[in-house]
Amino acid sequence: MKNNILKLTYSSLISALIFLATAFLSFPVTITKEYIHLGDGFVLLAGIILGKRNGFLAAGIGSALADIYLGYAEYALPSFIIKGLMAFLVGYIFENLEDIKRLYIANLIVGIIFTIYVLSIKSIYDNSSYTHFDNISKTILMALAIPVMLLAISLLASKFKSLKIISTFLSSGLLMIVLYYVTTSVLLKNFFTPILSLPANLVQYSVGVFIATILYKPLLKIMSGSQLKASDNNRNMNNKKH
């Protein structure tokens, strides 16, 4: 019973932190009518600390509420799904970091999705009237190196735990970039403008990874300690009953 209360408490706390970091530590991006924020670090932490299911809900709810609060209600449902999936992916892998197959499966799926995304925006750019951006086409093609790098990291991850974590965070970030591109393209009815938000998204996510990397170990220790105390208390109560 107390363990369930602890899970609910942690879920509510992480969801609140995601809301606060997203809503109050945010900066508008006028070109794409979006905003960047510091909430991604806590989205990743939701998956690590709460697991895939509770992490999905905490990340989704906190992010959706922040969108509504900031006046981006049209992004609330997409954010619930996208941020939830980010946390789910991280939670899925962190539930058993020793199971390398989980990492391979997740990275393979995300790598394929990202490759399709890169080739699609390359086609969109080549058929657009924005040819005065000389280096964009080459830059887009260079982005194809990212899924290749993801695959290479995955192959080395079986020997190095740190690479598993880096690979997991990278996959989650790539998934976010692709899904938000699709979302913004549909909302703006424009498939080119959202490409311009890519640098801001990369900066936002890099800061998020930095936050999650620093905080996840201390938070896991705190959570483990609380669960042990709750288990001890439950045992003591059961002994008293007998």
3 φ/ψ angles, rounded to the nearest 5 degrees: -65, -40
| Of 39, 35, 47, 49, residue with least CA distance to 19 | 39
Note whether 198 and 104 are within 8 A (CB): no
Tell me the CA end-to-end span of the chain in Å, nearest whole number: 18
Pair 164, 154: CB distance under 8 Å: no
Q: Which domains does the chain have, with CATH numbers?
A: 2-241 (1.10.1760.20)
Q: Is the pLDDT of residue 179 over 70?
A: yes
pTM summary value: 0.84
Strand blocks (E) in the chain = 26-29, 34-37
10 vs 59, which has greater pLDDT?
Answer: 59
Using pLDDT thresholds of 50, 70 and 90, give the confidence band for residue 2. Answer: low
Element (H, E) at 153: helix 145-157
pLDDT value for 228: 44
Q: Which residues of 16-49 are buried (b: 16+ CB within 10 A; e: fewer)?
A: ebbbebbbeebeebeebbbbbbbbbbbbbbbbbb
Kindly report, residue by residue over 74-83, the tens digit of the pLDDT.
999 999 999 9
pLDDT digit string (tens) for 194-215? 877 777 788 888 899 999 989 8
Helix pair 40-69, 76-94: axis angle to 10 deg: 160
Q: How far apart are the C-alpha atoms of 158 and 6, rounded to whole Å? A: 33
* Segment among 113-117, 127-131, 182-186 with least mean pLDDT: 127-131
Kindly tell me the burial class for residue 145, based on how many C-beta atoms sit within 10 Å of its own C-beta (0-12, 13-18, 19 or more): exposed
Closest residue by Cα to residue 56 from 175, 202, 147: 175
